[in-house]
């Protein structure tokens, strides 16, 4: 039986906002839950995030944004990942994202939006469930 | 027989009660990990010396307040941070707030303006007019302050890396409106060090950034004497997850670095220290927060007079703005936030703040709506006019608990400052990731406490129920981005471009040399050079700084 491979996650901050408390807490919680986590730091362009996801060969990309630029910045990330052949990557997001924007984001392939107050345990569980079956 | 000593009381009266009825928690502690005992008495402070620790208000070490009669003379300035979309829309919001009895303006800038990009830069995509107003050139500032008299209002600008440029615009605008810059009242945040620690809008490396900071100190002491040249900010440090003690310590350690830089640049401490101002967070733990403000005031006055030998009493006063804690606002049951904000505002005023921003209840969703910001302002007015809170100075002074906490926080913060000194000061410590690591540890610890139900957030991990929908969230019209870019293109087309080239070239020379940069920034903005153009020159000369990533 093959050794269990760790889930690989990229936590990324697209756009210009410096609010990284949430991203860092989530990144650390995922790491403590046994995942391999790469955190990009702030001020990443969509291109940089796609590039990092490919380079690091991640299973999950988590996007954190609080500036309100999600409708402009998430679609090029989702498209870029597809173009690079990363069609199976699990895309999730968090931050200040009004409910009315969620359908548009789901449409481009963002599987879950974790708003303020979400326990990290819920994010961990979601990722593990989504990826169950892919890894064994 | 009543107990004669606390220890006796603990054994005779308290212990049997706890034996029979267990306390709610094994341990009670503040955000800074200060153990809280069931009651405080004079025995908790055996060495307490009233005149050394507190003194009288308006006198060193200012623990009780910086003015002798505090709010009996003048209430704190009610200053709501606001700005979104284009200059026209923000101008409307400012005029509305002034009509509603707000007493000072506080400008929020969009991120591209804060990071030195014009609205037509590729990195500005999606960010134009979000989180603050779009300012590219002096023309935007002219629109922003239309119908507002610069000699009658005090204006605070949350701007850091690009602070000298925005200040130059404000001065240029005053001149155009016929107002003497010497009469201008206001504040620029201009606190670059906490950007590396917690807020993330830095552009240049710390050392050239510090030069820009001290250039402002020097210029304003001569030409804009009433201007608060910096607002040394613990607010964002706390928002990023620090404890109360860390908030005081990292803020004051940054303050020390600025004072050292200015003295190294040849300024006399009493020439600029009186124009330094501070900015703190008002968080949930009411008594710890009140103690925090008092401890910060006392500690700073000792630092500035003992370490830097300031002579002018004004130099030793810690004047501060407060904002309630954005990080405590919940998206769940959002109307609860109105109550959180009221209690945090109470802490700020009990702590003797000079000005206050109260957050709006809808901020876990979006930039505040007009309705939400009105309630936030009314919360301050209610505190000021209905509760009697301003009728006496430092109302909680003398409470055994408050004095105990003040002393404990001053001690803890002092120990952190010693550590930072040993690392080589605030800048060196930032480069080593010290403050960032400490804050991350605290923030992760807080999150774990919430998830393990050791800490309660009403509506989030206890008393959970479905939330009412918030209606009328503020949405920034995406059309604005196009409009703003068009305006910038028009300005660039209509200005004297030969002159712009000349002033930018001059800026490059001054930036490479040692002369004060402020006069040339004023030349640049008066020629309608844009923030992006000015910052491109500075990026070329100073280089850029990535975040000091600790993970």
Tell me if B179 sits within 8 A of B482, measured CB to CB.
no
For B327-381, give the DSSP string.
GG--SSSTTHHHHHHHHHHHHHHHTT-SEEEPPPTTTTTSSPPHHHHHHHHHHHH
Yes or no, beta carbons of A41 and B131 under 8 Å apart: no
Tell me if A59 sits within 8 A of A20, measured CB to CB.
no
Q: Determine what percent of chain A is predicted with pLDDT higher than 90.
A: 90
Q: What was the pLDDT predicted at B250? A: 98
Quote the minimal CA–CA distance from B372 to chain A in Å: 16
Whole-number Å distance between alpha carbons of B472 and B467: 15
Interface with chain B: mutation pick from A10, A12, A19, highest number of B CBs within 10 Å: A19
Token code pair at residue B288 = 């710890």
Q: What was the pLDDT predicted at A1? A: 45
Question: What is the ipTM score, two decimals?
Answer: 0.93
Yes or no, beta carbons of A98 and B115 under 8 Å apart: no
- Taking CA A79 as the corner, what is the angle to CA B117 and CA B365, rounded to the nearest 5 degrees? 60
Least confident piece of the model among B146-160, B239-253, B384-398, B466-480: B466-480
For chain B, the helix, strand and coil percentages under 3-state DSSP, each to the nearest 5? 55, 10, 40
> For B365, which of A43, A70, A96 is closest by C-beta distance?
A96
Q: What was the pLDDT predicted at B70? A: 98
Tell me whether A15 touches chain B (CB under 8 Å): yes
Whole-number Å distance between alpha carbons of B233 and B247: 9
Q: What was the pLDDT predicted at A135? A: 52
Mean pLDDT of all residues in B287-312: 98
Q: What was the pLDDT predicted at B219? A: 97
Yes or no, beta carbons of A98 and B366 under 8 Å apart: yes
Tell me whether B367 touches chain A (CB under 8 Å): yes
Yes or no, beta carbons of B451 and A121 under 8 Å apart: yes
Q: For residue A8, what are the contacts with CB-CB under 8 A and spacing of at least 6?
A: A35, A36, A38, A56, A57, A58, A59, A60
Tell me whether B440 touches chain A (CB under 8 Å): yes
Tell me whether A23 touches chain B (CB under 8 Å): no
Where exactly are the structural domains of chain B? Answer: 92-451
Tell me A132's DSSP state: B
> Can the peptide bond before residue B139 be classed as cis, meaning omega within 30 degrees of 0?
no
pLDDT tens per residue across span A2-46: 457 899 999 999 999 999 999 999 999 999 999 999 999 999 999
- A136 pLDDT higher than 50: no
Phi, psi of B102 (to 5 degrees): -65, 145
Q: What was the pLDDT predicted at B226? A: 96
CA B443 to chain centre: 19
Tell me if B77 sits within 8 A of B185, measured CB to CB.
no
Q: Determine what percent of chain A is predicted with pLDDT higher than 70.
A: 95
Q: What was the pLDDT predicted at A3? A: 55
What is the CATH topology of the domain spanning B92-451?
A: TIM Barrel (3.20.20)
A25 contacts in B (CB within 8 Å)? Answer: 241, 443-444, 447
Yes or no, beta carbons of A17 and B131 under 8 Å apart: yes
Residue with tokens 């100075």: B393
Q: What was the pLDDT predicted at A5? A: 87
- B105 pLDDT higher than 50: yes
Whole-number Å distance between alpha carbons of B546 and B188: 23
Residues in chain A: 136
Yes or no, beta carbons of B447 and A120 under 8 Å apart: yes
Tell me B321's DSSP state: E
pLDDT tens per residue across span B332-372: 999 999 999 999 999 999 999 999 999 999 998 888 999 99
B60 three-class SS: coil
CA A125 to chain centre: 14
A29 contacts in B (CB within 8 Å)? Answer: 444, 447
Average pLDDT for chain B: 96
Tell me if A67 sits within 8 A of B130, measured CB to CB.
yes
pLDDT tens per residue across span A83-93: 999 999 999 99
A43 contacts in B (CB within 8 Å)? Answer: 115, 123, 200, 547
Whole-number Å distance between alpha carbons of B426 and B237: 14
The Cβ of residue A92 has, within 10 Å, a number of other Cβ atoms equal to: 21
Token code pair at residue B99 = 């009509």
Residue with tokens 């309705």: B371
Mean pLDDT of all residues in B394-409: 97
Q: Which residues pair with B154 in a beta bridge?
A: B185
- A95 pLDDT higher than 90: yes
Tell me whether A104 touches chain B (CB under 8 Å): no
Of the candidates A32, A30, A38, the residue with the CA atom closest to the CA atom of residue A57: A38
For A88-126, give the DSSP string.
T-EEEEEES--GGGHHHHHHTTEEEEE-TT--HHHHHHH
Q: Determine what percent of chain B is predicted with pLDDT higher than 70.
A: 100
For B96-145, give the DSSP string.
HHHHTT--EEEE-B-HHHHHT--TTSGGGTTTTTSSSB---SHHHHHHHT
- Give the Å distances, CA to CA, from B76 to B72, B213, B344, B345: 10, 27, 15, 11
Token code pair at residue B179 = 């107002």
Yes or no, beta carbons of B331 and A116 under 8 Å apart: yes
Contact map slice: B 233-252 vs A, CB within 8 A = 239-241
Quote the minimal CA–CA distance from A55 to chain B in Å: 19
Quote the minimal CA–CA distance from B198 to chain A in Å: 8
Strands (E) in B221-307, as ranges, are 227-228, 230-233, 276-282
Q: For residue B19, what are the contacts with CB-CB under 8 A and spacing of at least 6?
A: none
Token code pair at residue B357 = 């921003």
pLDDT tens per residue across span B12-68: 999 999 999 999 999 999 999 999 999 999 999 988 999 988 999 999 999 999 999
């Amino acid at each position: 039986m093959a050794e269990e491979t760790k889930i690989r996650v990229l936590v990324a901050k697209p756009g210009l906002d410096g609010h990284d408390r949430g991203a860092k807490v989530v990144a650390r919680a995922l790491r403590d839950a046994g995942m391999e986590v790469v955190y990009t730091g702030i001020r990443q362009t969509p291109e940089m995030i796609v590039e990092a996801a490919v380079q690091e060969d991640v299973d999950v990309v988590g996007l954190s944004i609080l500036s309100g630029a999600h409708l402009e910045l998430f679609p090029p990330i989702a498209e870029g990942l597809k173009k690079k052949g990363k069609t199976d990557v699990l895309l999730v997001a968090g931050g200040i994202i009004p409910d009315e924007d969620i359908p548009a984001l789901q449409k481009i392939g963002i599987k879950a939006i974790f708003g303020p107050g979400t326990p990290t345990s819920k994010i961990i569980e979601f990722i593990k469930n989504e990826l169950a079956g892919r890894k064994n | 027989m009543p107990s004669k000593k606390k220890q006796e009381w603990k054994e005779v009266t308290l212990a049997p009660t706890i034996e029979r009825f267990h306390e709610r928690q094994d341990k009670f502690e503040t955000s800074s990990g200060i153990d809280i005992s069931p009651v405080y008495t004079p025995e908790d402070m055996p060495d307490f010396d009233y005149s050394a620790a507190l003194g009288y208000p308006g006198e060193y070490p200012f623990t009780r307040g910086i003015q002798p009669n505090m709010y009996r003379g003048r209430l704190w300035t009610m200053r709501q941070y606001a700005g979104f979309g284009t200059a026209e829309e923000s101008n409307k919001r400012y005029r509305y707030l002034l009509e509603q009895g707000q007493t000072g303006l506080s400008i929020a800038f969009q991120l591209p303006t804060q990071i030195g990009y014009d609205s037509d830069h590729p990195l500005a995509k999606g960010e134009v007019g979000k989180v603050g107003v779009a300012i590219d050139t002096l023309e935007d500032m002219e629109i922003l302050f239309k119908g507002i008299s610069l000699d009658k209002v005090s204006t605070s600008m949350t701007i850091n890396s690009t602070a000298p440029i925005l200040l130059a615009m404000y001065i240029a605008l005053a001149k155009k409106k016929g107002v003497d810059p010497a009469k201008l009242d206001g504040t620029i945040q201009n606190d670059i060090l906490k950007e590396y620690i917690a807020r993330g809008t830095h552009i240049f490396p710390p050392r050239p950034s510090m030069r820009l900071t001290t250039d402002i100190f020097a210029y304003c002491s001569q030409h804009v004497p009433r201007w608060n040249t910096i607002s040394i900010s613990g607010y964002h440090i706390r928002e990023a997850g620090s404890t109360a003690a860390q908030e005081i310590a990292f803020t004051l350690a940054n303050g020390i670095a600025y004072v050292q830089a200015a003295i190294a640049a040849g300024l006399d401490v009493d020439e600029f220290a009186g124009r330094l101002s501070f900015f703190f967070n008002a968080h949930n733990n009411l008594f710890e927060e009140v103690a925090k403000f008092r401890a910060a005031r006392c500690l700073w006055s000792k630092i500035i007079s003992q370490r830097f030998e300031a002579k002018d009493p004004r130099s030793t006063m810690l004047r501060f703005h407060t904002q309630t804690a954005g990080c405590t606002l919940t998206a769940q049951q959002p109307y609860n936030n109105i109550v959180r904000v009221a209690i945090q505002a109470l802490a700020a005023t009990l702590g003797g703040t000079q000005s206050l921003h109260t957050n709006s209840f809808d901020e876990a969703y979006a930039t505040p709506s007009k309705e939400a910001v009105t309630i936030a302002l009314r919360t301050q007015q209610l505190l000021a006019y209905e509760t009697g809170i301003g009728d006496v100075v430092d109302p909680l002074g003398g409470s055994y608990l408050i004095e105990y906490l003040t002393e404990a926080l001053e001690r803890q913060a002092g120990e952190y400052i010693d550590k930072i000194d040993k690392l080589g000061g605030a800048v060196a410590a930032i480069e080593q990731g010290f403050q960032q690591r400490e804050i991350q540890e605290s923030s992760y610890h807080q999150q774990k406490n919430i998830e393990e139900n050791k800490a309660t957030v009403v509506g989030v991990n206890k008393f959970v129920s479905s939330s009412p929908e918030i209606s009328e969230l503020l949405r920034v019209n995406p059309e604005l981005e196009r409009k703003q870019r068009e305006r910038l293109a028009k300005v660039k087309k209509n200005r004297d471009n030969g002159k712009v080239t000349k002033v930018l070239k001059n800026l490059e020379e001054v930036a490479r040399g040692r002369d004060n940069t402020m006069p040339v920034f004023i030349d640049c903005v008066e020629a309608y050079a844009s923030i992006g153009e000015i910052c491109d020159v500075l990026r070329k000369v100073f280089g850029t700084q990535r975040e000091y990533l600790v993970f």
